[in-house]
Structure 1
Amino acid sequence: MTLSLRHHIDLLTSPDPVMMVSVAAVKGSTPREVGAFMLVTRNRTAGTIGGGNLEHQVTRRVVDAFAEQLDGKSDTAMLPNGEIVRFPLGPGLGQCCGGSVEVGFHLLDAGQKADLGDVLSEIASEPVSQSGRWVMLPVAGDAGGLHIAASDSLQAGMLASGFGTERGGIVTINGAETLCLRLDEALTPMWIFGAGHVGQALVSALAPLPFDVHLIDSRDDYLDRVKGENLHIHQSDKPQDEVADIPAGAHVLILTHNHALDFDICRAALMRGDLGFVGMIGSQTKRARFVRRLSDRGLGAAEIGRLTCPIGIQGITGKQPVVIAASVAAQVLSVREAQMAQNQTTKAASDGVG
């Protein structure tokens, strides 16, 4: 179960009152991104908004409010609910990030706990790659309760035009300020061709990371050995034909047992032109040979330039499958983060923000 969702679900199914604490907005350097959230009860927490003194102070505020309510010193109405509170991350909090965080506080009633628990259970059992699930929470002073929607709904479409990141933020919906948080991880589709030793190690390395992994091989016996989260198994006698079904923006890693098959998959992937990353295991010699053959088959410099081979980050030279997998996982995670930052910058520019 990814993202420690088991802990979130356990809290939501307990009889204790639950406060949803979230990062509503950020400025400057901060320990977590917009949309990060945690759940707080009288004596337990699940998730994190960045740790450190910020999280300690926020948690203490909620726990103290719960304690006063339990002692009869205040009622539920006095608990922070729908508030957005700004915390500068400076000397006052003993943190030197230099930015500031706006933190949202939302007390969940029994129905909201059940709704949130249900959707987190769905995400845990069937992760979403691109569609996404959102929770919408009213900001203090505005009517309405917690609402959950998929990103292809009308309201989620309004969200997409309201802020520059898919991780959440405060937008105006139907005239009311609303805090919107993405509940899943916006997993990036990752297609791995080859279920050999390195392919198996990559599945394990990518399991806790924000990728929705598809593993393709012609060999049933190799595929039968692989288990993992966010994993889809595809047996195909012609793996190169599967390239046409890969969604735009997906990442592709090519590491089959056959160089001729590597070439066919590589050529098909590079001809797509809309994939986020195309990487292939191999040496500089293999790359040079493939570049010549790709050029002979009519691919231009721009298409060939989209190929990353060898794969992995500089400085890691170990050949063990687990070492290669760790190096490649770091590389594709770096590519993913850069692409997300570029998408945010592009959207901000198109919206006239800057």
Structure 2
Amino acid sequence: MLNQSTQGLHAHNWLQAATELEASSATYVIVTLLSAAGSTPRASGTKMVISDNNIYATIGGGHLEFKAIEHARTLIARGESCQEVENFQLGASLGQCCGGQVLVLFEVFASDKLHLDVYGAGHVAHALMPILAQLPIQIRWIDSRAELFPEQIPANVQKVVDDEPVAQVKTAANNTATLILTHNHQLDFELCQAVLKRDQSLWLGVIGSDTKAKKFQYRLMQRGFSEQQIDSMICPVGLSEVNGKLPMEVAVSIAGQLVALYQSLEVGKPKQKSKQWRDLQDNLVHLSTLQSQKAKIG
């Protein structure tokens, strides 16, 4: 999948795309052709931007661009900011008629916010959103009933209306936390199945009772889910120390658990990794040598 939000190519240039993705706290990769030797589809300095669901601009198309997109999304899935340099042989390894080679820089800009998908726009979700609006969390708020959403949506919340909310699980970014608060137990269960089956969610919380949790655990076991998968589902969601059934009481309990989640991620966040400058310098020298040799032959 190249672009989820639009058919064909985006109208944005790479700078507009990076600015927009940065503002939305999305993880993205800027791909730059650092150097080119021989016949190549685009010149050095050409850039494109790749996110989990979309691409912007182009570095020339063909198999080179396909491999660049593939590699960029592998880096996005790691969830870390980093820089990597890759050397692509257009003729030998990619089967392009150009026959040259390019040195490509991948700069990953990982979002430092917790990404959270909230399913359900009922009373608890309405009580929860004003709390989450004040926290470093980027949210997709998903429900099939457009009329339930308030007129004013916090800046860090994206409203998603979908007649089939379960379909949104496939579009979630990797390492997104998932909170299920719908009005329908069967829908809750279908969402749980979809999230566990995809196996890319950072965290899964489900509103309910101990009885509901046991029923879901049994049904998931009957459908072949592993004990590890089932144990990853937190139901009832929320801090056990915070009691009460009022929507705001439940919302505060869930918010406390989400705060603990993103704080634990900050503590465990790995240091930024990048290729050593020596690697980049060696690659540039290699390409420079090739260009000089081609110039002499010509």
- Bin for the TM-score computed over the shorter chain: 0.5 to 0.7
What is the Cα deviation at residue 240 of structure 1?
A: 1.0
Give 2:254's aligned amino acid. Answer: V
Choose from 223, 226, 230 the match for 2:149.
Answer: 223
Supply the distance in 1 between the matched residues of 2:135 and 2:254 (Cα, whole angstroms). Answer: 12
- Does structure 2 conserve the Cα–Cα contact (< 8 Å) formed by 1:243 and 1:269? yes
Q: Which amino acid letter does the alignment assign opposite residue 231 of structure 1?
A: V
Shift of 1:195: 0.3
Aligned to 1:214: 140
Indicate conservation of the 8 Å contact 2:119/2:182, yes or no: yes
Q: 8 Å contact 2:21–2:27 — kept in the other structure?
A: no
**Residues 128-207 of structure 1 correspond to what in structure 2 (within 5 A)?**
128-131=25-28, 186-207=112-133
Deviations 1:267-301 (A, max 9, x none): 11111222111100011110000000011111111
Higher relative CO (CA 8 A, sep ≥ 6), structure 1 or 2? 2
Post-superposition offset of 1:242 = 1.1
Could you say if the C-alpha distance between residues 241 and 127 of structure 1 is closer, same or farther in structure 2, counting changes exceeding 3 Å?
closer
Q: Secondary structure of the residue that 2:270 maps to in structure 1? A: helix
Give the unaligned 5+ runs of structure 1: 1-120, 134-149, 169-182
Partner of 1:332: 258
1:258 partnered with 2:184: yes
Change in Cα spacing, 1:340 to 1:255, as seen in structure 2 (3 Å) is same
Which amino acid in structure 1 is aligned with residue 135 of structure 2?
A: L
Q: Which residue pairs with 1:242 in the alignment? A: 168
The answer to whether the Cα contact below 8 Å between 1:194 and 1:256 also exists between their aligned partners in 2 is yes
Matches within 5 A, 1:80-159: 126-131=23-28
Residue 284 (structure 1) aligns with: 210
Contact 1:206 1:329 in 2 (8 A): yes
Q: CA deviation at 1:304?
A: 0.8
Could you say which residue in structure 2 is the equivalent of 1:37?
none
The percentage of aligned residue pairs carrying the same residue is 30
**In structure 2, C-alpha distance between the alignment counterparts of 1:233 and 1:341, rounded to whole Å:** 30
TM superposition score normalised by structure 2: 0.56
Return the alpha-carbon distance in structure 2 between the equivalents of residues 247 and 185 of structure 1: 11
8 Å Cα contact 1:123/1:184 also seen in 2: no
Partner-residue secondary structure (3-state), 2:267: helix
Q: Residues 191 and 250 of structure 1 are in contact (CA less than 8 Å); yes or no, is this contact kept in structure 2?
A: yes
Per-residue deviation at 1:132?
9.2
Compute the TM-score of the two structures, normalised by the length of structure 1. 0.48
Deviations 1:64-105 (A, max 9, x none): xxxxxxxxxxxxxxxxxxxxxxxxxxxxxxxxxxxxxxxxxx
3-state DSSP class of the match of 1:195?
Answer: coil
Question: Contact between 2:27 and 2:111, CA under 8 Å: does it hold in 1?
Answer: no
**Aligned mates of 1:151, 1:239 — CA distance in 2:** 26
Structure 2 SS opposite 1:276: strand
The alignment of Structure 1 onto Structure 2 pairs a total of residues equal to: 196
- Matches of residues 1-12 of structure 1 in structure 2 within 5 Å? none
Partners in 1 of 2:200 and 2:111 — Cα distance?
A: 22
CA shift in 2, pair 1:260/1:122, >3 Å: closer
> Could you tell me how far apart the structure 2 residues matched to 1:228 and 1:321 are?
19
* 3-state SS of 1:190 partner: strand
Superposed CA deviations along residues 17-52 of structure 1, whole A, max 9, x for unmatched, are xxxxxxxxxxxxxxxxxxxxxxxxxxxxxxxxxxxx
List aligned pairs for 1:54-69, cutoff 5 A: none
Residue identity matched to 1:244: K
| Contact residue 201 and residue 322 of structure 1 kept, 8 A | yes
- What per-residue deviation string (whole Å, max 9, x for no partner) do you get for residues 183-209 of structure 1? 997222210000001111222111111
Alpha-carbon distance, 1:229 to partner: 1.6
- For 1:213 and 1:284, the matched residues in 2 are separated by 27
Match of 1:301 among 221, 224, 227: 227
Paired residue for 1:51?
A: none
Q: Would the aligned equivalents of 1:128 and 1:187 in 2 still touch at CA under 8 Å?
A: yes
Structure 2, unpaired ranges of 5+: 1-18, 31-48, 52-71, 83-108, 277-298
1:314 corresponds in structure 2 to 240
Which digits, 9 at most, give the CA deviation of each residue in 1:205-234, with x for residues without a partner? 111111111111111110245521211111
> Residue 311 of structure 1: SS of its match in structure 2?
coil
